Structure 1
Amino acid sequence: MVGVLPQTNAQFSLIGQLRTRTEIRHGVGNLPVAGSPAAAFTSQRARLTFGYKWDRITFGMAIQDVRVWGQDASTISNADGNRLMIHEAWADVALINRADTTMKFAPIDYLSLKIGRQEMVYDDSRLIGNLDWLQQARRFDAALLKAQHKGWQLDLGTGFNQNTDAFGVSGTYYTPGNVPTSALSTKSVTLAVPAGFIPTATKGGLPVLTSAVGTNGQNQQFKSFTMIYLAHKFNKTKFSALFFNDNFQKYRVDSIGSATNGYVYGRRYDVAGTNSRITYGAMLTGLIGQSLPIAWQAFAYGQGGRDRDGLQLKKAYHYGASLMFQRGPLSIGPGYEVLSGTNDATINAGQTSRFDPLYGTPHKFWGLMDYFYAGTGSPSGGLKDGYLKVKYTGKRLTTSFDAHYFALANTVYNKLPDAAPSAPLAAKLGMEYDLTATYSLNKFTTVEGGYAIMNGTNTLEYTKQGTMNQKDKVGTWAYLMINIRPDFFAANAPKK
């Protein structure tokens, strides 16, 4: 887009969404306990998105409600609370626009400021995305300065998070969101969790992290961020570069409780300063050929500084490439990517080489069953993913089949008591097979279904859950999703 013509009349949009998803889970995210039954449920998102555009301003707001069927009684009390939230509320104000002759100062083609609660989607959502697969999705409280000039795009973004604006609060200590209000102590007594304290798992009376959970699985928990995104398209090839600096509040290990009631171990976020992480890299995408078009992609990213736990990032990287051969409605192609992890054989204390894929959409890349870089954690040894994708796109029916081979990217030792000293685990994590189909019922309604299988190994069980031979090695998942998105103004518009 090069400039935006001023609007002579205000433009309104009002789009609704009702999305229900019924799932049967037996091993999603982690291998299931041996002999355990499958879980079945239906979740729902209801969303209303309002848009307004006139002259030099664009305004957007999205209100959504997310819940599981039966989660509330048929008549709820005030104590049950609510799940209604503002998913988006932003305004985009044009500051420079060469297409608008009323703006006399126009050194570049276009410049605007987008501020407020908003979704952020860049490139293929690998590192920055709206995570729309989750019913609650993801949004950022941020300000974006967006510039365009002669085909180049430059976005500068920033955000600063705080827990409260209450009187009497000093300093800017920030505790990550979604903090539990209570936790079970070492003596099975439920204790109230004070402000600024996050419980962790306990082992031998000491706090530990059960699995390396990335920032993707912890929602928006940075204290602040700054971002630079640069992109340009050369014929059929697009180049993009990203610089993202996120800062995390420092914490100290602490506990609450007493000898009588037992203790809850955790982290108290009242230490001055932040741990600063830097992610940088570039992506190339393109299309070549005519009789047999080939869509291709290649990317490489690195991370430095310190992670959210204060560990020094040493040679953390993420790279990959893929090809998709297209013949009519059929596409097929291989891909391979690596996310670095910590090598137990060479790493020093206080360091990590684990690449964290920021705030992207892991469900889209590393298997539909969300074993990696989602809220269930991911192996500290990183990930290698070799895959083959097949897709058929018809007028109403779209189907896809993906096969993944997952393996550790770096050496991880078996640290169970009965293991030999410095015994490395086998690299193979497992094979995952994902099959999906989407059918368009009408202009506003689609039906989507899928089935997936994870054929895991003891390495997957150990690196995700800390055990061996206690879980079923095969996980399965099936879902049926109905997505209804009426455009209310379009539905009422007179036919021409």
Structure 2
Amino acid sequence: MATRSTGVAQFSLVGQLRTRTELRNGLGNLAPKDAPAAFFTSQRTRLTFGYKWDRIQFQTSIQDVRVWGQDASTINNADGNRLMVHEAWAEVTLINRADTTIKFRPIENLSLKIGRQELVYDDVRLLGNLDWLQQGRRFDAALLKAQHRGWALDLGVGFNQNTDAFGMVGDNYTPGNVPASALSTKNVTLAIPAGFIPTAGKGGAPVLATPLSTNGQNQQFKSFQMAYLAHKFNQTKFSALLFKDDFQKYRSDSLGSAAAGYVYGRRYDVAGTNSRVTYGAMLIGQLGDASSKLGKVQWQAFAYGQNGKDRDGLSLKKAYHYGGNVMFQKGLLSFGPGYEVLSGNNATTIQSGETSRFDPLYGTPHRHWGYMDYFYVGTGSPAGGLQDAFLKFKYTGIRLTTTFDMHYFALAAPTYNKMPDAPIGTLLPNKLGMEYDFVANYALSRFTSLEFGYSIMKGTNSLEYTKQGTMDEKNKLGTWSYLMINIRPDFLATKR
């Protein structure tokens, strides 16, 4: 007779208090000339509870994110709330060959993970938890996870809505984080109604005041469907991703009056979605080990494409992202070069209604394209795409780890210089700038670490123009430094 193995339920309770003090003088965008630097401390407080027993795993993560001094010493109702549920999911085992009480066992393992959860795949290039940001990233989704003979297949779906539709009809989806008010063309503050996102325009042709991007902007997908396949062959891992995200359609609109002026924007009351498909594969491998005579060599190569329509309904044509890198490690030291490209619009050939801009989905740009976050984050990215040639160094000690990265950034496609004093047809120089990132992390104890970072961006007029639309108005030297304390106690751990 089959018997169920007996055991004790496993509990985990892990906390985190992470403060980060930053001195910003050109982070994300070049700062205006003679502008003062910004200085502040932000804090994330997180409590994660986990439970695992038999065929179920449950986890809830609650976090609070705020800037020191952001709240008054006495809180009132107008201050809003920043306490949120970061994770709340359960994973139910459907098939497990190690459990003899389950009769149907055609594969080794099958489980369903449902609820608010992080999606972390490969090197978080396209799907990641964006843990560098204090608020992080999570998804409301269902994930079916299968494993068999070394292969892993994840199938995921998500469907977003802003309301439970009580007293409403339809399921049109308005992006979140919409401002409550905006300045009109006559500098009058007007209230923003539900379902409307304000823009700023010239000559009656509205354009977004802040370009929307997947990472850090206000256009969440309406729904997504994904498939992820992975397998490891000796010291080489192969993975493939197919990800489809759908965005609510919209129409151009305005609100206001002749006396108060107008606010141009987008009205999200149109039926249907614009669907985008991202697909590709990655290989990660290793040769030797750090203690061998020749040391260890780690390498990576990847290629992805996008087609369909972007969130604005533009047809994606030849949008791609590819690259590779290698790291040589001998003892405590590592170094290695890399190169990658994210496609952009070729200004000399792009047609109306089309785009070739590759969007790196919901990854962690901070990890890949410079720590100063100039590209594919909240401040947008050049329409001409990005080339990134880099060289990285790393020292890994018992308690101290240091890294030093150098990036050469350039446009991936020709971009016109449309400044008034530039002759028609003049192209911008490709070079965007050089970035230098230094980070030192020291483990103070089992649960506490101290991290210091310092970065420099030596930008060009091409960087200023493609990001901010001006030339010779910004300081071309951007700097950023931070000091971060990360405390992660395990409340149920026993003393060593």
Residues 88-137 of structure 1 show CA distances to partners (whole Å, capped at 9, x for unaligned) of: 00000000000111111100000000000000000000000000000000
Q: Are the counterparts in 1 of residues 283 and 300 from structure 2 also a CA contact under 8 Å? A: yes
Q: Which residue in the other structure is 1:453 paired with? A: 456
Q: Which residue in the other structure is 2:34 paired with? A: 35
Matches within 5 A, 1:242-391: 242-290=241-289, 291=292, 292-391=295-394
User: Which whole-Å CA distance do the structure 2 matches of 1:211 and 1:77 have between them?
Assistant: 31
Q: SS state of the match for residue 464, structure 1?
A: helix
1:56 matched to 2:55? The reply is: yes
Residues 452-477 of structure 1 show CA distances to partners (whole Å, capped at 9, x for unaligned) of: 00000000000000011100101000
Amino acid of the structure 2 residue aligned with 1:72: D
Q: Which residue in the other structure is 1:156 paired with? A: 155
Q: Which residue in the other structure is 2:402 paired with? A: 399
User: Which whole-Å CA distance do the structure 2 matches of 1:481 and 1:359 have between them?
Assistant: 24
Q: SS state of the match for residue 308, structure 1?
A: coil
Q: Which residue in the other structure is 1:224 paired with? A: 223
Per the TM alignment, residue 423 of structure 1 is displaced from its structure 2 partner at its CA by 1.0
Q: Which residue in the other structure is 2:439 paired with? A: 436
Matches within 5 A, 1:167-246: 167-210=166-209, 212-218=211-217, 221-246=220-245
The two structures have a TM-score, normalised by structure 2, of 0.97
Amino acid of the structure 2 residue aligned with 1:16: G
Classify 1:238/1:6 alpha carbon distance in 2 versus 1 (closer, same or farther; 3 Å). farther
User: Which whole-Å CA distance do the structure 2 matches of 1:272 and 1:210 have between them?
Assistant: 25
Q: Which residue in the other structure is 2:80 paired with? A: 81
User: Which whole-Å CA distance do the structure 1 matches of 2:376 and 2:399 have between them?
Assistant: 32
Per the TM alignment, residue 205 of structure 1 is displaced from its structure 2 partner at its CA by 4.6
User: Which whole-Å CA distance do the structure 2 matches of 1:136 and 1:354 have between them?
Assistant: 27
User: Which whole-Å CA distance do the structure 2 matches of 1:325 and 1:41 have between them?
Assistant: 37
Following TM superposition, the consecutive aligned residue runs of length 4 or more in structure 1 with deviations greater than 4 angstroms are: none
Classify 1:194/1:388 alpha carbon distance in 2 versus 1 (closer, same or farther; 3 Å). same
Of the three residues 427, 430, 436, the one matched with 1:427 is 430
Per the TM alignment, residue 79 of structure 1 is displaced from its structure 2 partner at its CA by 1.5
Q: Are the counterparts in 2 of residues 211 and 465 from structure 1 also a CA contact under 8 Å? A: no
Q: Are the counterparts in 2 of residues 213 and 374 from structure 1 also a CA contact under 8 Å? A: no
What value does the CA root-mean-square deviation take over the aligned residues?
A: 1.2
Per the TM alignment, residue 397 of structure 1 is displaced from its structure 2 partner at its CA by 0.3
Amino acid of the structure 2 residue aligned with 1:104: K
Q: Are the counterparts in 1 of residues 212 and 219 from structure 2 also a CA contact under 8 Å? A: no
Residues 290-331 of structure 1 show CA distances to partners (whole Å, capped at 9, x for unaligned) of: 432100000000000000000000000000000000001110
User: Which whole-Å CA distance do the structure 2 matches of 1:213 and 1:448 have between them?
Assistant: 31
1:484 matched to 2:483? The reply is: no
User: Which whole-Å CA distance do the structure 1 matches of 2:370 and 2:325 have between them?
Assistant: 15
User: Which whole-Å CA distance do the structure 2 matches of 1:294 and 1:415 have between them?
Assistant: 46
Q: SS state of the match for residue 413, structure 1?
A: coil
Q: Which residue in the other structure is 2:23 paired with? A: 24
| Identical pairs, percent | 74
Amino acid of the structure 1 residue aligned with 2:179: P
The two structures have a TM-score, normalised by structure 1, of 0.97
1:47 matched to 2:50? The reply is: no
1:8 matched to 2:7? The reply is: yes
Q: Are the counterparts in 2 of residues 212 and 379 from structure 1 also a CA contact under 8 Å? A: no
User: Which whole-Å CA distance do the structure 2 matches of 1:119 and 1:7 have between them?
Assistant: 31
Residues 65-91 of structure 1 show CA distances to partners (whole Å, capped at 9, x for unaligned) of: 000000001001112121100000000
Compare 202-211 and 273-282 and name the one that shifted more.
Answer: 202-211
Compare 206-215 and 467-476 and name the one that shifted more.
Answer: 206-215
Q: SS state of the match for residue 460, structure 1?
A: helix
Amino acid of the structure 2 residue aligned with 1:242: L
Q: SS state of the match for residue 488, structure 1?
A: coil
User: Which whole-Å CA distance do the structure 1 matches of 2:170 and 2:421 have between them?
Assistant: 48
Q: How many pairs align?
A: 489
Where do 5+ consecutive residues of structure 1 fail to align? Answer: none
Q: Are the counterparts in 1 of residues 17 and 486 from structure 2 also a CA contact under 8 Å? A: yes
User: Which whole-Å CA distance do the structure 1 matches of 2:347 and 2:333 have between them?
Assistant: 43
Residues 399-450 of structure 1 show CA distances to partners (whole Å, capped at 9, x for unaligned) of: 0000000000000101122221121100000000000000000000000010
Where do 5+ consecutive residues of structure 2 fail to align? Answer: none
Compare 30-39 and 418-427 and name the one that shifted more.
Answer: 418-427
Per the TM alignment, residue 165 of structure 1 is displaced from its structure 2 partner at its CA by 0.5
User: Which whole-Å CA distance do the structure 2 matches of 1:422 and 1:351 have between them?
Assistant: 20
Q: Are the counterparts in 2 of residues 275 and 308 from structure 1 also a CA contact under 8 Å? A: yes
Q: Which residue in the other structure is 2:114 paired with? A: 115
User: Which whole-Å CA distance do the structure 2 matches of 1:301 and 1:167 have between them?
Assistant: 41
Compare 73-82 and 114-123 and name the one that shifted more.
Answer: 73-82
Q: Are the counterparts in 2 of residues 143 and 159 from structure 1 also a CA contact under 8 Å? A: yes
Of the three residues 410, 415, 418, the one matched with 1:412 is 415
Q: SS state of the match for residue 78, structure 2?
A: helix
Amino acid of the structure 1 residue aligned with 2:43: Q
User: Which whole-Å CA distance do the structure 1 matches of 2:298 and 2:218 have between them?
Assistant: 32
User: Which whole-Å CA distance do the structure 1 matches of 2:274 and 2:460 have between them?
Assistant: 35
User: Which whole-Å CA distance do the structure 1 matches of 2:439 and 2:247 have between them?
Assistant: 38
Compare 259-268 and 242-251 and name the one that shifted more.
Answer: 259-268
User: Which whole-Å CA distance do the structure 2 matches of 1:162 and 1:23 have between them?
Assistant: 35
Per the TM alignment, residue 220 of structure 1 is displaced from its structure 2 partner at its CA by 6.6
User: Which whole-Å CA distance do the structure 2 matches of 1:7 and 1:245 have between them?
Assistant: 42
Residues 155-201 of structure 1 show CA distances to partners (whole Å, capped at 9, x for unaligned) of: 00000001101412111100111111111111222111111101123
User: Which whole-Å CA distance do the structure 2 matches of 1:201 and 1:443 have between them?
Assistant: 51
Q: Are the counterparts in 1 of residues 213 and 219 from structure 2 also a CA contact under 8 Å? A: no
Classify 1:6/1:128 alpha carbon distance in 2 versus 1 (closer, same or farther; 3 Å). farther
